[in-house]
């Protein structure tokens, strides 16, 4: 247990960033060009006409027109019934219907499908995925994610987190993912894959990944894609292959509890299928009693370990005193 905690603490220190560290885009472009990297930005969509325009305008003007950091911006759509693709194209994005990419492989409606097909359609050595529903979109959503991959060859997968709840008086604040993270994914990771609890927001929809990793990953087409990526990349490359970047606040529409229920169901499917394929279903690891959360202290993050032991009592009818008092033999 101590070894896991030490490893997580080391990783938090070396591989967790704040986006402000990478504000100098000129340096980022110079390093990208020195290494001869190409970067693709993929925005998966389904009925996002209200938000896609601003996402394209701000990312294209800053990261393609002003600084040549991104080599292509592509919208991959699951078949929107609104004007998502027309709006995106009018501001200079390349637009694709997911169904038109690799048609011989068929089409399945789901965000993971679009992310998977992007690997075939886009040219980049690094693909950065950004959701279209971010109302306060800004270049940091891309620079913060691609920078660790540009500067550090050993990092393969950078994940976003958004963590700025109210400041606490002692300078310490709880660090939270969304509701599904805290209720479902963090408890599961604490039990089965404790190192992955180091991901402050495992379900965030923004991440940047190297092609040589992406092309080897299976893709659940629905809600399970983020969870399964973390497990698969961790098993193949270990925790050191990940980085995570704090991108400040993400403003988006809130999902209903019903929708979160569906999301949880999809995540559980992916999670259990991984337990099955890893032969863990009938050989469960020793169940951990340590639940791992995080708190932010100034600019750094630390683990909060809680021992939670679920002891059980037998049925009352098996207790001798009870049986006597009820006149039972």
Check binding of 61 to another protein (CB under 8 A): yes
In the chain, the largest separation of any two C-alpha atoms, in whole Å, equals 86
**Closest distance between another protein and the C-beta of residue 274, in Å?**
39
Of residues 38, 28, 14, 22, the one with CA closest to residue 243:
14
Residues 6+ apart with CB under 8 A from 39: 32, 69, 70, 71, 124, 125, 126, 127, 128, 146
Check binding of 142 to another protein (CB under 8 A): no
What length does the chain have?
329
Say how far apart CA 250 and CA 137 lie, in whole Å.
Answer: 8
Q: Which listed range, 58-66, 172-180, 195-203, 283-291, lies at the site for another protein (CB under 8 A)?
A: 58-66
User: Residue from 12, 29, 46, 58 that binds another protein (CB under 8 A)?
Assistant: 58
Check binding of 14 to another protein (CB under 8 A): no
Check binding of 57 to another protein (CB under 8 A): yes
Q: Which listed range, 11-19, 61-69, 202-210, 293-301, lies at the site for another protein (CB under 8 A)?
A: 61-69
DSSP symbol at 315: P
Check binding of 135 to another protein (CB under 8 A): yes
Check binding of 86 to another protein (CB under 8 A): yes
Say how far apart CA 22 and CA 36 lie, in whole Å.
Answer: 19
**Nearer Cβ to another protein (59/233):** 59
Burial code (b: 16+ CB inside 10 Å, e: under 16) for 199-220 equals: bbbbbbbbbbbbbebbeebebb
Check binding of 47 to another protein (CB under 8 A): no
Contact set with another protein (CB under 8 A): 49-51, 53-54, 56-58, 60-62, 65-66, 83, 86-87, 90-92, 135-136, 251
């Amino acid at each position: 247990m101590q070894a896991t905690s030490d490893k997580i603490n080391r990783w938090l220190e070396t591989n967790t960033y704040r986006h402000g560290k990478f504000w100098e885009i000129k340096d980022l472009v110079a390093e990208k060009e020195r290494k001869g990297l190409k970067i693709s930005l993929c925005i998966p969509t389904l009925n996002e006409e209200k938000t896609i325009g601003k996402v394209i305008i701000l990312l294209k003007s800053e990261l393609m027109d002003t600084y040549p950091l991104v080599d292509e911006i592509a919208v991959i759509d699951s078949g929107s019934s609104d004007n998502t693709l027309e709006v995106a194209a009018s501001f200079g994005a390349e637009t694709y219907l997911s169904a038109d990419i690799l048609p011989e492989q068929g089409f399945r409606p789901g965000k993971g499908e679009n992310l998977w097909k992007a690997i075939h359609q886009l040219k980049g050595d690094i693909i950065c995925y950004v959701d279209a529903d971010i109302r306060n979109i800004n270049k940091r959503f891309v620079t913060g994610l691609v920078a660790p991959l540009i500067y550090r060859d050993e990092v393969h997968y950078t994940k976003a987190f958004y963590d700025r709840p109210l400041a606490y008086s002692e300078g310490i604040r709880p660090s939270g993912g969304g509701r599904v993270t805290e209720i479902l994914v963090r408890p599961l990771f604490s039990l089965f894959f404790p190192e992955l609890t180091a991901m402050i927001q495992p379900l965030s929809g923004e991440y940047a990944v190297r092609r040589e990793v992406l092309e080897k990953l299976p893709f659940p087409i629905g809600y399970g894609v983020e969870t399964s990526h973390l497990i698969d990349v961790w098993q193949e490359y270990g925790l050191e292959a990940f980085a995570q970047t704090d991108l400040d606040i993400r403003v988006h529409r809130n999902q209903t509890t019903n929708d979160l229920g569906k999301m949880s169901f999809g995540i559980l499917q992916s999670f259990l299928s991984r337990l099955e394929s890893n032969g863990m279903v009938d050989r469960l690891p020793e169940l951990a009693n340590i639940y791992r959360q995080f708190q932010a202290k100034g600019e750094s993050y630390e683990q909060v370990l809680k021992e939670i032991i679920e002891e059980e009592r037998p049925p009352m009818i098996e207790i001798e005193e009870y049986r006597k008092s009820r006149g039972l033999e």
